[in-house]
Amino acid sequence: MKAGGRGSGEPADDDLVGPTRLPHLPQLRVAPSLLAERFASGCDTALCVGRCCRSGVWLDPGERDRVLAHADRVRQAMDPGQPRDVRRWFSRRVTVDPDFPSGTAVHTRVRGGRCVFLSGAGRCVLQTASSASLRLKPFFCTAFPVTVDGGVLTLDDKGFRAGQPCCEPTEKGPLTVFDTCGRELRHVLGAQGMARLRRLALRRRAPARS
């Protein structure tokens, strides 16, 4: 994930979905693993306990700057033990990553084995500080476990998700990615892109003609 691990699976050339909610990536290829993944009954991303962001997260510099512009609002959402000094919020390292709007990404700092924005209750204070008109939580954090890796729509790797009640993969589980990660897929794709993905899933399930 842009908040941790990496996706997997090579898509076919014609497996494209779009439009998306990423203006710089109007179409995305779809990894076979995304639609093949299965989940256990009761698996729901609403059950996330924040283990996915303990090692910090990647975000676009524009998202970082928006957080810094609303630092007072973020501080109000923090636990007493979280750092108030904005210099302790983000690493200075900048890495090239064309999946982000600017083509680069920065990383949140880690303190005490957890992202500086993760509260003691395992909740993202950037999400708490957000409102309907102001979104401070990074795009790919909201998308987890759905991610984009090299222009390919996929899921974070299985090892990274293992043991998490929200999205742990389960062989032959009864739930599909639409059942478990529907909100996250819609966050990345929007309504039209989501409809295209559902059609692609139906096409892949259809028996081949002889």
pLDDT per residue over 33-66, tens digit each?
Answer: 999 999 999 888 888 877 778 889 999 999 999 9
Question: Residue ranges of the domains in the chain?
Answer: 1-48+144-210, 53-140
pLDDT in tens, 27-38: 999 999 999 999
> In angstroms, rounded to a whole number, what is the distance separating the alpha carbons of residues 165 and 203?
30
Start-end of H helices in the chain: 32-36, 61-69, 71-77, 125-129, 139-143, 158-161, 177-205
How far apart are alpha carbons 1 and 56 in whole angstroms? 11
Q: What is the DSSP letter of 88?
A: G
**Cβ 156 vs Cβ 1: under 8 Å:** yes
Give residue 71's identity as a one-letter amino acid code. A
Structure confidence at residue 164 as a pLDDT band (50, 70, 90): confident
Pick 2 or 80 by higher pLDDT: 80
Q: Is the pLDDT of residue 6 over 50?
A: no
Q: What is the CA radius of gyration of the chain?
A: 17
